[in-house]
Amino acid sequence: MKKLSILITALLITLTASAQISNSSQIPEVSKDTKLIIIDEDNSVLTDSEFNDKLGKVSDLIGGDVVIVETYCQVYDGFLVDLYKKSPFGENCIILNIDDVENTYIITAAGPIKDLKEDIKSSFAATLKSFGSSYSGEQMFQAFIDAVEENYSLNPTSETSTESRTSAAVDLPGDNWAKYEIGKRTEQNPLVFKSFLKDNLTAEQLRLALETPYVDTAVKVYDAAGLLTESEISKLQSRIHQFIDKHNVDMVVVTINHNNKQASYENIASENFAMDFYEYNDFGKGVQAKEGYDGAILLIDMENRKFSMLDVGQPHDKYNVASLNYQSYIEKMAPDLKAGNYYTAISTFIDSYEDDYIYETTFPWIKCSLFALLLGFILLKIEKRKYKNIRKATSAADYVKEGSFRLTVNKDTFVSTHTTKTYDPPQKSSGGGSHGGSSGRSFGGGSGSF
């Protein structure tokens, strides 16, 4: 009986372990025509022809893809984004994910249809509420289709080819830019005001600017990923404003669940997001080129599990604050980020960066003076050692007449030595130094993983 119980337990554990998608390699393949994706307990894809056809028709209406994903197995946090990336669906796409394990749902979108996402969510939620305490999956499917069709008919968006797959991607749940954005960029008004960019944007810079949230630059802490409490945000804002007021250098902290920027030849994706966010939102202090751009930015990228620490303007061009010290930030911050102590990690960055900024900007001459004193002391010691065998005469033998003494034994005696050592510092890990932003500005610093 005991053996049977152990066997049943082992079987249950095996079944539970198989009923999950824990990484992107386990995401099943789907065809372009499959708009209703039902992933069962064995990670197999099922569909329903009736609702699949209905989703196809509303997809044609919006000029994109309207997709429902229902999961009967456990999925990891980035599942929906990875499924989108692996799918043949185009840039203009809206997805309803029904999680039957957690009894939750998420609506997320990419492309022009994103402008209607909140309206669609509201309509969908109102319909579900009208059903009362219980409703079927088919009712949810139909309610979503109706919500998309109704809101698109009232507010049609510009059509985008489903073949187009640029850097735009699905929002990760939890990204909340609505609370920070103060406007929407358009091709006619990209909302870029610095003189070296305004009216001089290349096609690529315009594309990158349009991908960048346009925010109120007075805020300083943009917790789009929802990693901090309101009290923590308030404390960090206050600490950053103290730094800015004292040093006339800007500072920005950003957290994201989803990164819509791509890695480039010089930089990883998190660094590109940080630099674009800083430049296209016109952060900066100082007086260079008649407008300030001195500042530092910390980005915590939850999608890529990266954090980037960069500075620009005099902090980089003249003092290399982040470039010289980013390794120490990584060592101090990574353990807290891995443990989910985001407030502590951000506080560590602010305090450490200020200490390093003060050191690099206040003590360069003192450092040179100390080096000169040290070098002088070493040279004096060297010269002194040359005369260590000179001493006061203490006997008559010291005054023997030269030439009156015949040498019969010749013996070399080792009296002293001098060794010169050259300091060979350890090399920094890759990822530091200068980073070219898409705007043309040079940033300094580096990135770590957690």
- Asked if residue 442 lies in contact with residue 312, where contact means CB atoms within 8 angstroms, the answer is yes
Rg over CA atoms, the chain: 33
- Asked if residue 288 lies in contact with residue 294, where contact means CB atoms within 8 angstroms, the answer is yes
pLDDT band (50, 70, 90) for residue 435: low
| pLDDT value of position 390 | 55
Q: How far is CA 119 from CA 107, 280, 372, in A?
A: 11, 28, 69
Fold of 23-154: Diaminopimelate Epimerase; Chain A, domain 1 (3.10.310)
| pLDDT value of position 426 | 33
Single-letter code of the amino acid located at 38: I
pLDDT band (50, 70, 90) for residue 316: confident
CA dist 286 and 248 (Å) reads 6
103, pLDDT greater than 80? yes
Single-letter code of the amino acid located at 79: F
| pLDDT value of position 25 | 83
- Asked if residue 212 lies in contact with residue 280, where contact means CB atoms within 8 angstroms, the answer is yes
CA dist 57 and 66 (Å) reads 9
Instruction: Name the region of 364 (left: φ>0; alpha: ψ -120 to 50; beta: rest).
Output: alpha
Average the pLDDT over 78-107 and give the result. 85
pLDDT band (50, 70, 90) for residue 6: very low
**Distant-in-sequence contacts of 418-426, Cβ < 8 A, 24+ apart:** 418/382, 418/385
Burial of 434 (0-12, 13-18, 19+ CB in 10 A): middle
Residue intervals in the chain for CATH 3.10.310.50: 23-154, 181-362+441-449
| pLDDT value of position 431 | 53
CATH architecture of residue range(s) 181-362+441-449: Roll (3.10)
Residues 6+ apart with CB under 8 A from 73: 19, 20, 21, 39, 40, 41, 42, 43, 101
**Mean pLDDT, the chain, whole residue set:** 79
pLDDT in tens, 265-277: 778 999 999 999 9
245, pLDDT greater than 90? yes
209, pLDDT greater than 60? yes
Average the pLDDT over 67-76 and give the result. 89
CA dist 45 and 39 (Å) reads 5
411, pLDDT greater than 50? no
Residues 6+ apart with CB under 8 A from 432: 323, 326, 327, 444, 445, 446
| pLDDT value of position 438 | 62
The torsion of the CA quartet 343, 345, 346, 352, rounded to 10 degrees, works out to: 140
| pLDDT value of position 332 | 95
85, pLDDT greater than 90? no
396, pLDDT greater than 50? yes
In 3D space, the residue among 78, 73, 76 whose CA is nearest the CA of residue 101 turns out to be 73
380, pLDDT greater than 70? no
| pLDDT value of position 421 | 35
Angle (CA) 311-316-320 rounded to 5° is 110
CA dist 287 and 248 (Å) reads 10
